[in-house]
Amino acid sequence: MGWCDDPKSKKYNKLIRFPFKYGAEKLYRKDNTYDIILVLDYNLNPIRKGKGSAIFIHVAKKNYKNTLGCIAVSKRNLKKIIKKINKSTLVNIN
């Protein structure tokens, strides 16, 4: 599984399957940051190519190293968040 980040693709900012002929981020990582991901409703409705893709809440890297636009929290806290949210939960990022 992956997430298309290539504005040339009709699948831009959407979940895809590999093999895939356009650019896409693999949703399996050895550093385990994508063990759990929550897809944020960023640039999804409508999707505007080149305005950002693959914006998730995911597991933080060691020492909370910077992400490339996502929100990262500890795996423990991410599990707590999952228990408290549902499909209509709004995430407000300040």
Q: One-letter amino acid identity for 37?
A: I
Bigger pLDDT: 87 vs 4: 4
User: Average of pLDDT values for 55-75?
Assistant: 92
The domains of the chain are located at 2-84
* Structure confidence at residue 22 as a pLDDT band (50, 70, 90): very high
13: pLDDT strictly greater than 80: yes
Provide the whole-model pTM.
0.86
9: pLDDT strictly greater than 90: yes
Report pLDDT digits (tens) over 29-49: 999 999 999 999 899 999 999
93: pLDDT strictly greater than 80: no
Tell me the three state secondary structure of residue 79. helix
Q: Is the peptide bond before 19 cis (omega within 30 degrees of 0)?
A: yes
- pLDDT for the residue 11: 97
Rg of the chain's alpha carbons, rounded to an integer?
Answer: 14
- pLDDT for the residue 43: 94
